[in-house]
Amino acid sequence: MEDDEEEQQDSLSSLLKRQANVGSQAQQRGNKLLTNDRWREAEGDAPAAPKTNKKPLFGNSSNRETEELPNEELELLREDVNSIRRLLEHQVSGLMWQEVERREPLRAMLIKRLSRMGLSLDLADQLACYIPEDTPPPKAWKALLRLVSDQIPIVKQDLLKRGGIVALLGPTGVGKTTTVAKLAARAAMEYGSDNVALVTTDTFRIGAHEQLAIYGRIMGCPVKVAKDSSELADVIYQLRNRRLILVDTAGMGQRDVRLSEQLDTLMSDSGEMIHSYLVLPATAQRKVLQETIDHFRRIPLSGCIMTKLDESLSLGEFVSVVVQNALPVAYIANGQRVPEDIVLAQPKYMVAKANELLEKSADNEPHYWSSDSDRL
């Protein structure tokens, strides 16, 4: 037993000695490296980059999983901050609106009513500021409607009297072909069918040419088809002696890639000035109308034509968009009959119709201006 203990002590002491020797050797190598680094620094050379134990950014799947966890937590934190910000903005806007209602109750009431009509809050706020706070509500609303009508831009010259080449643009289903037929019929009745011609560039929709050809046969007007800019130029040259040439373009969504081709066709040099009018339905939402105007602005627009007034439940969206974009209104189509259901645009008529639709949709709210004498 004593021998075993002595052997263990000897082995233990030898192990400690070996560890001490290894430590001293490592320290000597470290001092030597440090001395060499200092010598290189003195000579002007940069020291070697130290080795690190950092994990690579792109490693195996286990490393990616550990790195995605902080990103997920950061994304959750970002969502929480955005939620808190939206909540604060909502509360602050509510407090500001309560302050407006307390200090300027008439202005707040007018803004609410214009907003229900369909106007944007920015435009409603701007217009309501022009009405004095001490004005009686019926007179204030009547004055505000007159102010709205004064802001609506209108095409100064009737396109039928001016003549020339008129192209109707717009998304699918807004009533371009029917509007072309209405305008052509009116021009034919006033100036004769020999002075009117119809052209279609709609080669995408099945039966588009046939529909316009039927209208042309009824009115006695020629109908031509143009597939590209060169054909459009040739057709316009053939019809150069006509007083009015109406061009019916293909109806397609503003996000359709073919729209760029069609707009480029109309923008190409045809030898004549083409007056382009954007056809907008009164049934569309304000954001849809705005998006349509933004996408069709590649062509210089002479104005717009409102359709489907008879199907609309609110007219303020259309009024708000044309006012904020300074887009003149030429005609208003209020039905399917050709050529009866189309009239020249008049601001007072549009505002009166918007107010009528508002009152129909808000019969349950109190009206301080409900008497006929106080209406526009």
Tell me: do 142 and 247 sit in the same domain. Answer: no
State whether 352 and 278 are in the same domain: yes
102, 132, 151 — which closes off a domain? 151
What pLDDT does 298 receive? 78
Angle at alpha carbon of residue 156, lines to 152 and 158, rounded to 5°: 120
Residue 357 falls within a domain, yes or no?
A: yes
Domain assignment of residue 29, yes or no:
no
- Do strands 164-169 and 196-200 pair parallel, antiparallel, or not at all (unpaired)? unpaired
Most distant CA atoms of the chain, gap in Å: 135
Structure confidence by residue, pLDDT tens digits, 89-136: 655 655 555 665 567 778 888 888 898 888 988 898 889 888 888 888
Question: Do 194 and 147 share a structural domain?
Answer: no
In a domain, residue 74? The reply is: no
What are 267-319's pLDDT values in tens digits?
555 555 888 899 999 999 999 999 999 988 877 889 999 999 999 999 999 99
Residue 334 located in a structural domain? yes
Tell me the CA distances in angstroms from 56 to 48, 52, 64, one per residue in order. Answer: 20, 11, 10
Indicate whether 14 belongs to any domain.
no
CATH of the domain at 298: 3.40.50.300
Domain that holds residue 134: 91-151
On whether the CB atoms of residues 167 and 198 are closer than 8 A, the answer is no
pLDDT of residue 171: 87
pLDDT tens track, the chain, 376 positions: 545 544 444 555 555 555 555 455 545 554 554 445 544 554 455 455 445 454 544 445 455 554 555 777 777 777 777 777 777 665 565 555 566 556 777 888 888 889 888 898 889 888 988 888 888 888 989 999 999 999 999 998 888 999 888 989 888 888 898 999 999 999 999 999 899 999 988 766 656 678 888 888 999 999 998 877 778 888 888 988 899 999 988 765 555 445 455 556 665 555 558 888 999 999 999 999 999 999 888 778 899 999 999 999 999 999 999 999 999 999 999 988 888 889 999 999 999 999 999 888 766 455 544 443 344 4
Residue 35 is assigned to a structural domain of this protein: no
**What total number of domains does the chain contain?**
2
In-domain check, residue 183: yes
Burial class of residue 24, CB neighbours in 10 A (0-12, 13-18, 19+): exposed
CB neighbour list of residue 359: distance below 8 Å, 6 or more residues apart: 367, 370
Same domain for 320 and 264?
A: yes
Going by their DSSP bridges, the two strands 342-344 and 329-333 should be labelled as antiparallel
109 and 181 housed in the same domain: no
With CA atoms as reference, report the closest residue to 155 among 340, 367, 332.
332
So what's the pLDDT on residue 268?
A: 59
Place of tokens 């349950």: 364
Of 111, 135, 151, the last residue of a domain is 151
Comparing CA positions, the residue from 240, 228, 245, 229 lying closest to residue 165 is 245
